[in-house]
Structure 1
C-alpha cells in the first residue's frame, strides 16, 4: 500500500513573529514529502505544492517535535462523549494555554483507569492545517507526532534556515517525556543520561558531526526522510474528538479497500482467492456432470425411439417424434385419440347435467368441442366443470356456449 508522508512545518510562535515582523506566517504553499510504495522504504522525496503531491493509498501528516506536548496521567473513566472534557479537567493545572485552545489525543488502545501519555497540540492551528490540505484535495488519514515517549534516546537536527556550523537541536526522549532544546547550552548536557552509550542516538547528515562532538561517541545518521517515514508507521493518530475524520460514502469504501489491500490482510486475500478458484472449479465440474447426465438421457431416448420405431432414421426431437409415431400407429389401428370427437362427446355425455335435454347444436374442430348451453344455471355449469376437471378436461363458457378441450399433458 503506497503511503504519502507530509512533513508539516513547525507552528510559528508569537515570539518569533514579534522578533521579525517582516516574516509572514507559515503556510502550506509547499510541503516536504516522502513517498513510499509499500510503507516500509523511501521511494522518493521532495517538496511540492499540495495540489501537485504524488497520489497514494494513505496520507499521513507528521508534526514537528516542538508542536506536540506530552502529559502523563491516569485515564479517567468517562463515556466517549465526555472524555475530552474529563481530560481537560485533569490537565487544567498542567496547561499554560486555555483548554479550549488545545487539542488532546489518546494513545492507541487506551484503557480507562490505566496510565498513559496524552498528546497536546494547538487545536486551531492543527485544524487549520488539516482544512487547508483537504481544501487542496489532500485527504489526511492520520496525523502523527515525529517522536513519541518510549525508548530513551535522542535525535539531532539543524533547522532548515540554520547555518552549517550552528549548534544543532536535540529532541531528547526520556522516561518522563520528550524535551527539545539547543545543544549550545548547559541544560541539554545536564539532561543527558548517565550512560549515553546505552541509548540510541540519531542525527541528520548535516548535524551528525556536531552531535558526535556533543556526545563524544558515534551517532546513527538518519536522514529526515527516513525519520518521518519511521514516524508514519507509528500507531498514533492525533485526529481524535472534534478533529476526527468524517467517514462517509466513498471515503468509507476507500478506507475499507486500503485496509483490505494492506499487508496484514494478505492471508485473507489469498484465502478469498483460493475459495473463488475452488468454487469456480467445483461449479465447472458440477456443470460437466450435469451435461454428461443430460447427454446420457438424450442418448437413451434416441435409442428407445429407434428401437420402438425402426422406421425413424434421423432423430431431431426424440419425445416429439415418439408422440407423432404413436399417434400415427393409433390412427392406423382405428383407435380414437384423447382429442378426437368420440372421446370428447363421451366425456361431455358422462358429465351432462341431469334434467338437461339433448344438445341442440355442436361444433368440433382441432380437438375443441363446442356445445350449446342456453338455459344452463350456474350450479349446472359449475357441476359440469367439476366433473370434467379431474379427468383432465378444460371447460370454458362464453356467449351461451361451452367449449371442451383436453388439457395438455393430462393423463388419459
Structure 2
C-alpha cells in the first residue's frame, strides 16, 4: 500500500504555497523517500490503495506533558476543555486558538505528551488539500518524543538547518545550526549525553555537525526521517479534526493488511499461514481420496454380493436396489409375504397400537401403502405409534384428515 506524505509549510495556505511531498511504500524493506515540491493543485492524486498522511513540521509543534484528572477518559466531551485548562499557563497564545492532540494510549499513561499547534493554520492547509481532492487519513508530527534514550537529527543545510532532539522524557526541542561553534554549549545537553545519543544528519550538514559536536554523524538521505514518522503510532487528527474517521479506520485496516502481505517483519507469519493453508488442502485431498476409496470398495463388495447371490445379473447399476428387487421377486414367486404386503402391515399396525387405543375405522391399501381413516388418538398416542412402527420398519405420516403407513426406504433396500 502506498503512502502519500505531504509536509505542511510553516506559512499560511495559499494558491502559490509549495508543499514538500513524497510517495513511499513503508512496508518494503528498502523503502526510501524521494522528495518533491509542488503547489497543492499539482500534488499527486490518491486512489483507494493510497493513504494520505499530513506531516507537521517540528518547528510548528510544541510538546507538553500533562497529568490528567482521574476518570477523564470516561468523559470525552470534557477532554479538550481540560487540556486547555491544564496548559493555559504554559502557552503564549490563547488555548482556544490552538489545536491540542494527546499521545496514543494516553489513558494508560500517568503523564502523556500533548502536541500543540496553531488551529487556524492547520485548518487552512487541510481545506486546501481537500479542495484538490485529497482526503487526509492521518496527521503525524515530523519529530515526536521517541522511545530511544535520545535521538539527534540534523536537518536542512548549514546556513538554515536545525538540530533537533527527541527524548522520551524531555520531549522535542531544536536550535539553528548556526553558529556551529557554540552549538554544543547552547543545546542544553551534557557532553556525555551528546556522545551517547544517536546522531543522524542529512548530507548537507553531516560534515559541519560532526565538527561541531566532535563525534561522527550517521548519514541520512534527505527526508528519510519521514519513514520514522509514518511508522509511529501518532495521530494528531483529534477533536475538531476527527472528520472522515471511518475513512481513516478503513485505511488503517488496509495498511495493516498491506504490511502483513509485504513487510519483512511479517515474513515468518506469511510462511506459517501458507504452510497452514497447504496442510489443510493436502489434508482435505487425502480425506477425499480415502472417502472415495472406501466408497468404491463398498460398491465393489455390494456388486460381488449381488453377482454371487444372483448369477443371472449381467449389469450392475445400483447393487442394493437390484438386490432388493431380486429378493422381492423371489418372495413373490415362493408365495412368501413381504413387509409391503397387506397382511404384514396390518399385523405390524396391530402390534404397534398402544393399549386402550381404538383401531382405525377405515383403511385402504394400494401398492404397499396403507391409508388409515377415522383414527382418533392424542398427541402422546400418535407419537408412541410412530415410534413403534418405526422400530418395525414403517413410516406413519399425516395425510389430510387421516394417516399414511408405508415401508421405510431402508426397509425396502434391505436384502
Q: Common fold, TM-score beyond 0.5? A: yes
Shift of 1:301: 1.1
Larger Rg: 1
Say yes or no: does 1:3 pair with 2:3: yes
**Which residue does 1:139 correspond to in 2?**
136
Distance 1:366 1:344 in 2: 12
The Cα RMSD (Å) is 4.8
Distance 2:325 2:219 in 1: 95
Residue 96, structure 1, aligned to residue 85, structure 2: no
- 1:322 is displaced (CA, Å) by 0.7
Matched, 1:71 2:56: no
Q: Aligned with 2:224: secondary structure? A: helix
Residues 349, 194 of structure 1: alpha-carbon distance in 2 compared, 3 angstrom cutoff = closer
Q: Determine the structure 2 residue equivalent to 1:155.
A: 154
The normalised TM-score by structure 2 is: 0.70
- Over residues 220-253 of structure 1, what are the superposed CA-to-partner deviations in whole Å (9 max), with x where a residue is unaligned? 55342223333333343322343346443x6544
Contact 2:62 2:116 in 1 (8 A): yes
Match of 2:115 among 76, 95, 119: 119
Matches within 5 A, 1:227-246: 227-244=225-242, 246=244
Residues 120-145 of structure 1, C-alpha deviations (whole Å, 9 max, x = no match)? 11123223433443552343334223
CA distance 1:317–1:233, shift in 2 (3 Å):
closer
Alpha carbons of structure 1 residues 173 and 327: separation in structure 2 relative to 1, 3 Å: closer
Q: CA deviation at 1:178?
A: 0.8
Show the counterpart of 2:335: 334
Deviation of 1:368 after TM superposition, in Å, equals 5.9
Higher mean Cα deviation, 78-87 or 98-107?
A: 78-87
Q: Paired residue for 1:170?
A: 162
**Cα gap change, 1:254/1:308 in structure 2, threshold over 3 Å: closer, same or farther?**
farther
- Confirm or deny: 8 A CA contact 2:7 2:54 kept in the other structure: yes
Q: Identify unmatched segments of 5+ residues in structure 2.
A: none
1:297 Cα offset (Å): 1.7
2:174 is aligned to 179
Question: What is the rounded CA distance, in whole Å, between the counterparts of 1:330 and 1:231 in structure 2?
Answer: 89
Measure, in 2, the Cα distance between the counterparts of 1:283 and 1:72. 57
Partner Cα separation in structure 1 for residue 48 and residue 409 of structure 2: 67
Q: How far apart are the structure 2 equivalents of 1:35 and 1:397?
A: 73
Task: Give yes or no for contact 1:155–1:202 (8 Å, CA) kept in 2.
Answer: yes
Q: Give 1:42 shift.
A: 0.8
Residue 65 of structure 1, CA deviation: 2.3
Change (3 A) 1:54 1:28: farther
**Conserved? CA contact 1:152–1:200, under 8 Å:** yes
Task: Give 1:298 shift.
Answer: 1.5
1:42 is matched with which residue?
Answer: 32
Q: Distance in 2 between matches of 1:393 and 1:93?
A: 88
Aligned-residue offset at 1:92: 0.7
Contact 1:31–1:50 (CA<8 Å) still a contact in 2? no
User: Residue 303 of structure 1: CA displacement?
Assistant: 1.5
Query: What are the superposed Cα offsets for residues 64-93 of structure 1, whole Å, 9 maximum, x if unpaired?
Result: 222111234445435121333222212111
Q: Secondary structure at the match of 1:52?
A: coil
**1:300 to partner: Cα distance:** 1.6
Distance 2:306 2:137 in 1: 75
Q: How far off its partner does 1:334 sit?
A: 3.0
C-alpha spacing 1:45/1:28, structure 2 compared with 1 (3 Å): same
Task: Rate the CA distance shift 1:183–1:329 in 2: closer, same or farther, 3 A.
Answer: same
